[in-house]
Amino acid sequence: MEPSTAILENDIARSLMDKIDNRTAIITVVGVGYVGLPLAIYFAEDGFSVRGFDVSPVIVDTLNGGTSHIKDVLSDRVKAVVDSGNFRATSDESILKDTDIVFICVPTPFTKNKTPDITYIENATGTIAKYLHPGMLIILESTTYPGTTIEIVKPPLDAKGLTEGKDYFLVFSPERVDPGNLVYTIANTPKVVGGLSEVSTDLCCRLYARIVGEDKVVPVSSPTVAEMVKLLENTFRAVNIALIFELTFLCHRMDINIWEVIKAASTKPFGFMPFYPSPGVGGHCIPVDPYYLYWKAREYDFHTRFIELAAETNLRMPDWVDQRVTRILNRDGKSIRDAKILALGVTFKPDCDDARNSPALRVIELLLHHNADVSYNDPYVPHIEVGVPKGDYTPVLGKPVKLDSIDITDKAIENADLVLCLVNHSDYDWKRIIGKSAVFFDTRGVSIAFPEFSDKAYLL
């Protein structure tokens, strides 16, 4: 990649460019979770000296022992970069003194009132500001509302007397991590880069090109554009998922098989992208990002009615699943109270160990609220706790309930009044499970492949 005029005309930027090119730049990743750890490992594997900063001593010790706490990152990869000396984890913020490049990869939840909670970003920025020095490149990857980089991150840095684009460099580049996706990783997913200045954008593009390639770096005109890019990507999904959920409600009322409708519509080679029914939306992005967008829109006296309606529709789905379970049991003359229900899967998507904001947990909580006798199995999550109050969530249970994953034995299946598919993990032997079930409620479409069980398998 040829250096830009903006870099060549700035001695500090040119020095950092040289460090990036010869891999002598020291990188610190603040927050080594689902976003930060893969990023840290890729750069360490490329030969950079990388430090993973985290406030959790358990995570720090685990990583330094060569073990990964993230399913998408194999422990063998962590051990290799730890043994090579290219990576170490720490809770010592003073490492920022000699850091050249800082990635901010911290959580960005929202409050009970659906307003953004950017406390983690503010805390990370404050820590970085204490050690800000000429030649430092700061890259925010945490998903947030448009304007965060300029309005929240930049002022504490400027207060140190340095000038962005001249002395230090600030960029927003949205993370595009998809937990459990083995096809698209950081290494082959295009990277959007929006710096406050041309030189910041150019330096960051040069850095990311090390792991994704020059052809997959996408510069945009500002951090605000890059922030909006991330929200558009996930709001697009949220809105289309909500459309399918609403059609699922309607098709159930009309006695139409929504799965058959989607399958047939998917044969159109243009102008259609299939989305599918499920117990709801989960993870850290899709349930959260629309709220960031319409919260920010109110600052401009603009009401994002379409987006708000989609978010409301998505929130309804766990309740609707709960209602369907009640009705299915009633058809067999059984009450939800004391009914034995075996729930399969508690993560927010299949074949991953991430249960953040999982709709499956909400469904289980609602069933317990109705005094159902609920057990669960998930090969990736050995323990759960539902009914836990937190900043953005008020539980319906009087107190938290802890459950342990049970084995899916023939006896466990046969003893259940209803087996509830919440997540379609590929580990499950669905033919055996459905065949042994007295009643099977399918929220993921797994029973479609087994029409011989249509008499006892109910589709969402």
Active-site amino acid positions:
285
| Cα(271)–Cα(233) distance, integer angstroms | 17
Instruction: Give the SS3 label for residue 400.
Output: coil
Q: Indicate the SS3 state at residue 178.
A: coil
| Residue in the block written with tokens 């096809």 | 183
Instruction: Give the Cβ contact number of residue 134 at 10 Å.
Output: 13
Place of tokens 């319409």: 294
- One-letter amino acid at 157 equals L
Q: Give 334-340 contacts, CB < 8 A, sequence gap 24+.
A: 334/417, 336/367, 336/370, 336/371, 336/372, 337/370, 337/371, 337/372, 338/371, 338/372, 338/373, 339/372, 339/373, 339/417, 339/418, 340/372, 340/373, 340/375, 340/415, 340/416, 340/417, 340/418
Burial 314-328 (b: 16+ CB within 10 A, else e): bbebbebbbebbbeb
Q: Which residue(s) pair with 53 in the sheet?
A: 30, 90
Residue whose C-alpha is closest to residue 311's, from 285, 338, 346: 285
Q: What DSSP character marks residue 95?
A: G
Whether 110 and 116 have beta carbons less than 8 Å apart is answered as yes
The answer to whether 346 touches 361, Cβ cutoff 8 Å, is yes
